[in-house]
């Protein structure tokens, strides 16, 4: 069972990636699929890649989050959270089960919904796991889907309450 996560950064109070004040956790892995598919794209997280990777326990992060009275959500993003799906699932389980915290969780992924449902996650259907985990809460797990496209325009996402970088991106609640 996973008890640690490798991150590039943690922003204790973020107001740009979700409509609620959030802790933003920048994960440390990415396949750079956006750049591979669109030669005009330079990853907007290219500076993040250069940052030192640190490993923290789930409890260190969760306790830090819970001590902050201003935040009411956790957002995973930065690079690609779903390149380590089992770590993210274990973190959410720890938050829900051990700490009895039912705050909103947002996962920013560059994968499509179809990739998350199908071949991208060979050992399990990640979306089914996320939908069926009874510990995840009530319609407050949000996944933002879609790659950054250099030729697309910003689009407002009413679920997240923010503008997304490309019109092919959208979010769904689970």
In this prediction, the residues of the chain whose per-residue pLDDT falls under 70 are 32, 34-44, 46, 119-137
Domain extent for 164: 4-173
Non-local (6+) Cβ contacts of 66 within 8 A are: 99, 101
Q: Please state the domain count of the chain.
A: 1
Instruction: Label each residue of the chain as H, E or C.
Output: CCCEEEEEEEEEEECCCCCCCEEEEEECCCCCHHHHHCCCCCCCCHHHHHCCCEEEEHHHHHHHHHHCCCCCEEEEECCCHHHCHHHHHHHHHHHHHHCCCCCEEEEECCCCHHHHHCCCCCCCCHHHHHHHCHHHCCCCEEEEECCCCCCCCCEEECCCCEEECCCCCEEEEC
For residue range 117-131, what is the model confidence (pLDDT) as tens digits?
A: 775 554 556 666 666
- Tens-place pLDDT, residues 147-169: 887 777 899 999 999 999 889 99
Confidence (pTM): 0.89
């Amino acid at each position: 069972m996973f008890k640690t996560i490798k991150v590039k950064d943690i922003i204790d109070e973020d107001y740009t990636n979700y409509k609620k004040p959030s802790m933003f956790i920048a994960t440390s892995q990415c396949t750079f699929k956006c750049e591979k598919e669109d030669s005009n794209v330079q990853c907007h997280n290219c500076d993040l890649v250069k940052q030192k990777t640190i490993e923290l326990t789930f409890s260190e992060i969760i306790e830090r989050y819970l001590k902050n009275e201003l935040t009411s959500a956790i957002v995973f993003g930065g690079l690609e959270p779903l390149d380590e799906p089992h770590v993210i699932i274990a973190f959410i389980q720890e938050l829900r089960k051990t700490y009895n915290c039912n705050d909103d969780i947002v996962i920013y992924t560059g994968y499509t919904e179809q990739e998350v449902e199908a071949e991208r996650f060979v050992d399990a259907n990640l979306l089914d796991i996320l939908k069926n985990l009874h510990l995840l809460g009530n319609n407050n797990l949000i996944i933002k889907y879609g790659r950054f496209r250099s030729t697309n325009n910003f689009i407002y996402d009413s679920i997240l309450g923010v503008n997304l970088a490309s019109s092919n991106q959208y979010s769904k609640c689970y």
